[in-house]
Amino acid sequence: MKKILSLLAAATGVVFPSVAHAGNTPTTGITRIIQIAVHDNGVVRLFFSNNIVNSPACSTQYPNAMAFLDSTNEGKALLALAMAFKMNQTPVNVVGKGTCAAFGILEDVSMIADG
C-alpha cells in the first residue's frame, strides 16, 4: 500500500499524511469504504461501513457518507486512493473539513489514510 501512496503522490504532487490534521476533528475512525459514487458534475460520494463522528450540522442525512470534488488534483488523488482502498478492502481513517461545500448534505473530505 505504501508503494501505491508513493506512486499517487509522485503522479499528482499531493502528499498523503499518515496522521490527522489537528484542526480537522470530524472523522470516520477506522472504517472501510463500501461504496463510491461518482457524479457527472464532479461530486464523489464515499460511503463507509460505520458512521462518522463529530459531523457538522449540514451533514446529518447520511451518517456514513462524505463527499469531495474530483475536479482538482487533490480530488483526483483522493478518488484514486479511495478506489485503491476499496478494491483492497483496506481499513481507512477519513478526516472531514467540517463543511458541506461539495454536495451540500455531506461533509467534505479533507484526508484519507490507511488505518
Each residue's pLDDT tens digit, 63-94: 999 999 999 999 999 999 999 999 999 999 99
**Residue 115, amino acid:** G
Mean pLDDT over residues 52-68, rounded? Answer: 91
User: Does position 25 have pLDDT exceeding 70, yes or no?
Assistant: no
CB contact at 8 A, 69 and 87: no
Strands 65-69 and 107-114, by their bridges, are: parallel
CB contact at 8 A, 64 and 49: yes
Strand pairing partners for 108?
Answer: 67
pLDDT band (50, 70, 90) for residue 30: confident
CB contact at 8 A, 48 and 27: no
Contacts of 68 (CB under 8 A, 6+ apart): 43, 44, 46, 75, 78, 79, 102, 108, 109
User: Does position 28 have pLDDT exceeding 90, yes or no?
Assistant: no
- CA-nearest of 73, 97, 93 to 82 is 93
Domain residues for the domain of 108 are 2-114
In whole angstroms, what is the distance from residue 3 CA to residue 7 CA? 6
The pLDDT score that the predictor gives to residue 3 is: 54
In whole angstroms, what is the distance from residue 92 CA to residue 29 CA? 8
Q: Specify the number of domains making up the chain.
A: 1
User: Domain of 9: which CATH number?
Assistant: 2.40.50.340
